[in-house]
Amino acid sequence: MNSPRRDHRWQQEAARGRRNQTAKSCCGGRGVKAAPARVSRRVKELQRLVPGGRDLTAAQLLLRTADYIRRLRLQVQVLRILSDNLGTAPAA
C-alpha cells in the first residue's frame, strides 16, 4: 500500500501536468511566458478597434468591447430586417 506522503506527491505531479497541458493548449503550445506580450498586443489592437478604447484601462476596455459587440450584433439584426422588408416591398 502507498504511504499518504507518496500519494500526495503523485497528486501534486498530476495537477502540475494538467496545468502545463492547459497552458500549452490555451497558448498555442508556446507556454505561459509568451502570454504577457501577446495579451499586450491584443489589448492594443482592441484599443484601436473599439471607439474610445484608447483612454480605458484593460478591464474597462473588455467591458466596453463586450458592449460594442452587442451593439454591432443589434445593428446587423436591424439591417437584416430592413433589407428583408425592402426586398419584398412591391415596386412603385
pLDDT per residue, tens digit, the chain (92 aa), is: 556 666 767 777 777 766 655 555 555 665 566 688 899 999 999 999 999 999 999 999 999 999 999 999 999 999 999 999 987 766 66
Element (H, E) at 29: none
Give residue 70's pLDDT: 98
Q: Classify residue 2 by its DSSP letter.
A: -
Give residue 13's pLDDT: 73
Residue 54 sits at the vertex; the CA angle it makes with 67 and 50, to the nearest 5 degrees, is 35
CA distance 11 to 7: 6
Give residue 90's pLDDT: 67
Residues 20/25/29/33 CA torsion (nearest 10 deg)? -60
